[in-house]
Structure 1
Amino acid sequence: MRVSVGKWTKHKLMLENERLASFLPDTQYLNRTSLNTMLDKYNQIMVKPCNGFQGRGIIQISSLSNEQFVLHIERSETLINGKENIYDYLKENHFPRNRHRYIVQQRIPLATINNNPFDVRVMVQRKKDSLEWAVTGKLARVAANNFIVTNAAKAILSVENAIEISLVNNENIKDIVTDLEEVSLLIAGQLANSYTKKRVYGIDLGIDTEGKVWIIEANLTPAVSMFKLLNDGSYETIKSYKRG
């Protein structure tokens, strides 16, 4: 039986692992009730299509005073009055007419570099005749000005450099990098139980200002061309693993 590759399914699969659960943001399947519940719990939330890619369709909702909310989509912002009006606005203006599934998620407070959030992509792969997973590359992506997602990246940096120049409490850079790699390997091992033929994952992780690692997404068909920009040999390693 084929297992869905959507964000909601992968979130539930990861949640089954107790060690991974502490790295996952609060996430619910989106409907009117769950949207209102999450808005009551958090000042900022994210709405994401289950089968979206490259950051498309992601919406950040921020709570202001007096029952006002700002919807941030790519570079644009829209002000909505009244929590009860948000779901209808999204349904009318941003949800496709053909039925798509969405999740609603606690916003991860990503650390920033010059006021722009950054996240981390970790490549985890195994060779054709091996069950052993390995980290084959990692990099940091800095979001373009006024963007809420890093898919529109203004810079690609090494993870160590990004942490060093960011607002992260970076006294223990090595410990943060170790956490990033260990969480990524745990995710690959957990998802391999369901996606048995997969040999590569692109794990997107966030780091908050305290240095805590958060799971953003596990990509089953990750793009790798961005690793060329690092010139650290990781692109060649990734391609080598892909060949087998």
Structure 2
Amino acid sequence: MKKVKYKMGKLGKHNFMKRFNAINTFLPDTRIASKSNIKTMIRLYESLYLKPDEGTGGHGIYKITKTKKGYSLRSGTATRYFNSIDTLYRSLHILLTKEKYVVQKGIDLLKHNKRGFDIRVMVQKNSNNILIPTGIIGRLAKPKKIVTNYHSGGTPLPIDKLLKSHLKGDSRIKYIKNMELLSKKASHVLGKSYRRKRAFGVDIAIDSKLKPWILEINTEPDMSIFNTLKNKTMYKRILGYSKIKG
């Protein structure tokens, strides 16, 4: 495969990673947020997420969901209802023409205390430039919020605690290890384009059937979320790896 050098937003990263069989089955359908793509995808899936292509921190995100009488559009804690996808799109038209957005298949997130959560895995290069998973943390959505991001009110929690009601003992330990391995694999793939990056923040959603989905990979991951945990071992390890020069 010839070397392709992308410097990309969410869609560019998605399209680059989709070419690799090692991870493409873990990538949710993601396209440019055009009217035709939104119409096509809402026929295929129960819900969709609209995200700024370049956005971070969970800002500017919308969720479209099918309802009995039409569609709902959620942003923050506010919800609006529309009887057709055309009227819903009209309400977003100015936003979507002003800024590049992507539309992504909605994942029915695994729940903890009736609130959805996802996972952030930190993957960093060691002194031999080998990628190592150095931290894993869960992000629990604020009640009635559609995003889990720490800076949008999400609560960082140990992943073991969030998975406890879904997986028991050894199977939970093995599952967490598999999340780390998937994140390492995905970081290795994206690292083919971002060769100078030494850290990747892999965001993983787990659906109600326990299938992991790689939502996106951050090439400038925020380490501070790991400092919120009472046990500082993980944060200290991440900090130590961040000081290694390539």
Residue pair 2:202, 2:216 contacting (<8 A) in 1 also: yes
CA distance in 2, matches of 1:153, 1:181: 25
| Residue number among 145, 148, 161 corresponding to 1:147 in the alignment | 145
SS of 1:194's equivalent? coil
Tell me the percent identity. 30
Residue pair 2:30, 2:104 contacting (<8 A) in 1 also: yes
Residue pair 1:29, 1:103 contacting (<8 A) in 2 also: yes
CA distance in 2, matches of 1:50, 1:177: 29
In the TM superposition, residue 30 of structure 1 has moved relative to its aligned partner by 1.5
* Aligned counterparts, 1:57-96, within 5 A: 57-66=60-69, 68-92=70-94, 94-95=95-96
In the TM superposition, residue 28 of structure 1 has moved relative to its aligned partner by 1.5
CA distance in 1, matches of 2:109, 2:61: 15
**1:234 corresponds to:** 234
In the TM superposition, residue 103 of structure 1 has moved relative to its aligned partner by 1.1
In the TM superposition, residue 5 of structure 1 has moved relative to its aligned partner by 2.6
Residue pair 2:147, 2:154 contacting (<8 A) in 1 also: no
In the TM superposition, residue 86 of structure 1 has moved relative to its aligned partner by 2.0
In the TM superposition, residue 14 of structure 1 has moved relative to its aligned partner by 1.3
CA distance in 2, matches of 1:143, 1:206: 12
TM-score, normalisation: structure 2: 0.91
1:205-244 deviation per Cα after TM superposition (whole angstroms, max 9, x unaligned): 0112222111111011111111112224111111111110
**2:189 corresponds to:** 190
CA distance in 2, matches of 1:208, 1:169: 13
The question of 1:14 aligning with 2:17 is answered yes
**1:130 corresponds to:** 128
In the TM superposition, residue 154 of structure 1 has moved relative to its aligned partner by 4.5
TM-score, normalisation: structure 1: 0.91
**1:56 corresponds to:** 59
SS of 2:26's equivalent? coil
Q: Aligned letter for 1:38?
A: M
Residue pair 2:202, 2:218 contacting (<8 A) in 1 also: yes
Q: Aligned letter for 1:138?
A: I
**1:161 corresponds to:** 161
1:168-204 deviation per Cα after TM superposition (whole angstroms, max 9, x unaligned): 3557212321221111001111011101100001111
